[in-house]
Amino acid sequence: MDDKTKGICYVTGAEHDLDDLIAGDDIRESVQQEIRKDHPDFNDTSYISTRELFKYRQREMEAIVKKEVGQMTELEQQVLEKMKSNKFISDNVEPEMEMEFTFAERLSDKIAEFGGSWKFIITFLSIMTIWMALNVWWYHNKGFDPYPFILLNLVLSCVAALQAPIIMMSQNRQEDKDRVRSEHDYQVNLSAELQIRMLHEKLDHLMHNQHRQIVEIQQIQIELMQELEEKIDKLN
């Protein structure tokens, strides 16, 4: 193969096809600065392989995150680690959250869900109506809880006293679930933004390579036309 189609990666010293190499003048200055931290002599005429360039772009992404959000938290670190290992971030976190909660916490959700439904209201009103009807009309106010229904008031107070903390437990659990969802959404959005930035760079590289190939094809066509002209001149 023609040596003109080969080049040397400045970082690794390995030989690559020119299509797998990127010249320094095609790389943004911020990425070049990351490369020069390890290779101070890297310049616009030097080549770097796309694989090595990806690593330095990752380092630049870390620098951007640190600059924009300050000290990197565990959330940003997880995003960068998953990007390096090509893992999906947009997973369904609901099953994991459900597994982390105890049986009592899940039970509180069910009770709170039932307590805030029309089924509970209708059932409770029916029980109260039957309770009062039995004592007033059936037992002629001489039953187990005659008017003014002291036992019923005690039952209602106990239900209210138990229902309030159960609802608070369910609300606390819902807040935890909302927090996990918001953190996960933040990670997905951060990953998408970083990937879009890197995608723009890759598109710029592809467009540059296509332009270079077009120029090379035009140069070959010009050389062929010149050869044809020379042959025509000799024949004439």
pTM: 0.47
> What's the N-to-C CA distance of the chain in angstroms?
36
What pLDDT score was predicted for residue 126?
92
**What pLDDT, in 10s, does the model give residues 155-208?**
889 988 888 888 888 888 888 778 878 877 877 777 777 777 767 666 766 666
Q: What is the average per-residue pLDDT within 116-124?
A: 87
Q: What is the average per-residue pLDDT within 99-124?
A: 80
Q: What is the average per-residue pLDDT within 42-49?
A: 86
3-class DSSP state of 87:
coil
Q: Would you say residue 209 has pLDDT above 70?
A: no
Q: How many residues does the chain have?
A: 236
Q: Would you say residue 26 has pLDDT above 80?
A: no
Asked if 31 and 56 count as a contact pair (C-beta separation under 8 A), the reply is yes
Task: Please name the helix (run of DSSP H) or strand (run of DSSP E) that holds residue 17, with its range, or none.
Answer: strand 15-17
Q: What is the average per-residue pLDDT within 93-116?
A: 72
